[in-house]
Chain A
Amino acid sequence: MAVSRREFLKISTAGGVGIVAFGFDLAPAYAVVRELKIERTTETRSICPYCAVSCGVIIHTLGDKSKNVTGTTVVHVEGDPDHPVNRGTLCPKGITLKHDIVNNTRLTKPMYRASGSDHWEEKSWDWMIDTIAQRMKKTRDDTFIEKNAAGQTVNQCPGMAIVGGCTDNNEVNYLLVKWLRSLGVLYTDNQARL
Chain B
Amino acid sequence: MPSNMELRRISATPSPATGVRTAPTVAKMIDTTTCIGCKACEVACQEWNDLFNADIALEAPSEFGSYQTMPDLTANFWNLIRFNEHVEKRPDGSEKFHWLMAKDQCMHCEDPGCLKACPAPGAIVQYTNGVVDFQQEHCIGCEYCVTGCPFDIPRLSKKTKKVYKCTLCTDRLAYGLEPACIKACPTGCLQFGTKEHLVQIANARVEQLKHNGYEKAAIYDPPGVGGTGVIYVLGLGDQPELYGLPNDPHVPWTVSVWKHALKPIGSLLMIGALLGTIIHYVRYGRNEAPGMRKVDREEV
A binds B: yes
Chain A residues at the B interface, C-beta cutoff of 8 Å? 1-2, 14-15, 17-37, 39, 76-79, 81, 86, 88-92, 94-96, 98-99
Contacts of A17 in B (CB 8 A): 176
Distance in angstroms from A166 CB to nearest chain B CB is 22
Give 5 CB contacts A-B under 8 Å: A18-B177, A30-B7, A31-B125, A86-B186, A92-B42
Whether the pair B170, A33 counts as a contact (CB closer than 8 A) is: yes
Contacts of B170 in A (CB 8 A): 24, 33-34
Whether the pair B43, A92 counts as a contact (CB closer than 8 A) is: yes
Whether the pair A28, B129 counts as a contact (CB closer than 8 A) is: no
Contact among B5, B23, B171 for A30, CB-based, below 8 A: B5
Whether the pair A18, B7 counts as a contact (CB closer than 8 A) is: no
Contacts of A30 in B (CB 8 A): 2, 5, 7, 10, 122, 125, 135, 138
Contacts of B2 in A (CB 8 A): 1, 27-30
Given contacts A30-B10, A31-B7, contact A89 B173 (CB under 8 A): no
Given contacts A27-B4, A28-B4, A30-B5, contact A18 B176 (CB under 8 A): yes
Most A CB contacts (10 A, CB to CB) among B24, B44, B130 go to B44
B interface residues, how many (CB within 8 angstroms): 46
Chain B residues at the A interface, C-beta cutoff of 8 Å? 2, 4-7, 10, 19, 21, 23-26, 38-40, 42-44, 47-48, 50, 54, 122, 125, 127-131, 133, 135, 137-138, 170-177, 183-186, 188
User: How far apart sit A1 and B170, CA to CA, in the bound complex (Å)?
Assistant: 20
Whether the pair B5, A26 counts as a contact (CB closer than 8 A) is: no
Whether the pair B44, A95 counts as a contact (CB closer than 8 A) is: yes
Distance in angstroms from A79 CB to nearest chain B CB is 7
Contacts of A88 in B (CB 8 A): 183
Given contacts A24-B127, A25-B7, A98-B47, contact A89 B186 (CB under 8 A): yes
Given contacts A25-B7, A90-B40, contact A33 B174 (CB under 8 A): yes
Contacts of A26 in B (CB 8 A): 174
Whether the pair A23, B43 counts as a contact (CB closer than 8 A) is: no
User: How far apart sit A27 and B44, CA to CA, in the bound complex (Å)?
Assistant: 29
Whether the pair A23, B26 counts as a contact (CB closer than 8 A) is: yes
Chain A interface, DSSP helix/strand/loop, else mixed: loop
User: How far apart sit A28 and B138, CA to CA, in the bound complex (Å)?
Assistant: 14
User: How far apart sit A30 and B9, CA to CA, in the bound complex (Å)?
Assistant: 11
Distance in angstroms from A128 CB to nearest chain B CB is 30
Given contacts A1-B2, A36-B175, A79-B184, contact A25 B19 (CB under 8 A): yes
Whether the pair B173, A22 counts as a contact (CB closer than 8 A) is: yes
Q: Which 10 A-B pairs have the closest CB atoms?
A: A23-B129, A25-B6, A23-B23, A18-B176, A34-B171, A23-B128, A30-B122, A28-B5, A19-B174, A15-B174
Whether the pair B174, A18 counts as a contact (CB closer than 8 A) is: yes
User: How far apart sit A35 and B50, CA to CA, in the bound complex (Å)?
Assistant: 13
Whether the pair A33, B21 counts as a contact (CB closer than 8 A) is: no
Contacts of B171 in A (CB 8 A): 33-37
Most B CB contacts (10 A, CB to CB) among A17, A21, A31 go to A31
Contacts of A35 in B (CB 8 A): 171
Distance in angstroms from A88 CB to nearest chain B CB is 5
Contacts of A99 in B (CB 8 A): 54
Whether the pair B38, A92 counts as a contact (CB closer than 8 A) is: yes
Cβ-closest chain B residue relative to A2:
B137
